[in-house]
Amino acid sequence: MSGFGDEYVEPAETIHEEEPRYYSANRVYTYSDYLQLPAEECYYYEILDGTLIKEPAPTKLHQRVSRRLQRILEDYFWQRDPQAEIFNSPIDLVLSETNVIQPDLVYAPEDSDDICEHGITVIPQLIVEVISPSTERKDRFKKLGIYSRAGVSHYWIVDPKQQTLKSFRLVKPGEYVLYRSAEGDEVFTHPDFPGLAIHLDVLWRKGRL
């Protein structure tokens, strides 16, 4: 369908993704190694618990959803934390020497002094990952564990294919609970973010808002 406001389903042939490549080679990669990696068009790197991952560029559907959610969050935090910023990938989030990550969206609060030229070294309050077919397992399991151990208060996983948004909240170091979720054309709200209302159909829709 191509009419304005119609639900859009990305054609199957355009969401085919190259599988990520994992490099361990009996060694632990660090941030110092990361800084030496060559820039490659259409790829980006992450280090997760010492394992180097070379990831293909995200799909159009992924980028559309991420961009729209970024706009919503920017408008929301502009009213409540004017000095805060919402960063989108590519941005280096350095959680430790062996965890250097490229989250899709990061909320950096007003008092986050550790935002330097090369990336973010403070623990964010909110991270959002928009999953793609090739990143689903990494985002749902590996990154969830890393973010919880690092002390990230809120982790949201957005699935454009299933049209879901699931929010996890840190209850104690290393442990998230599924706190709020929404799907389809529902409106996502969260008690820790008063006044925030995300109409999910806006995320999935193609074309003008």
pLDDT at 15: 38
Express each pLDDT in 142-151 by its tens digit: 999 999 999 9
Q: Who has greater pLDDT, 136 or 22?
A: 136
In CATH, which of 3.40.1390.10, 3.10.290.10, 3.90.1570.10, 3.50.50.60 is domain 12-204?
3.90.1570.10
Confidence of residue 5 (pLDDT cuts 50, 70, 90): very low
Q: Who has greater pLDDT, 77 or 39?
A: 77
Q: Who has greater pLDDT, 158 or 111?
A: 158
pLDDT at 209: 56
Mean pLDDT value of segment 180-197: 96
- Terminal alpha carbon distance of the chain: 16
Q: How far apart are CA 103 and CA 139, in angstroms?
A: 10
Q: How far apart are CA 162 and CA 170, in angstroms?
A: 24
Express each pLDDT in 87-96 by its tens digit: 998 889 999 9
Q: Please name the amino acid found at residue 141.
A: F
Judged by DSSP in three states, 114 sits in coil
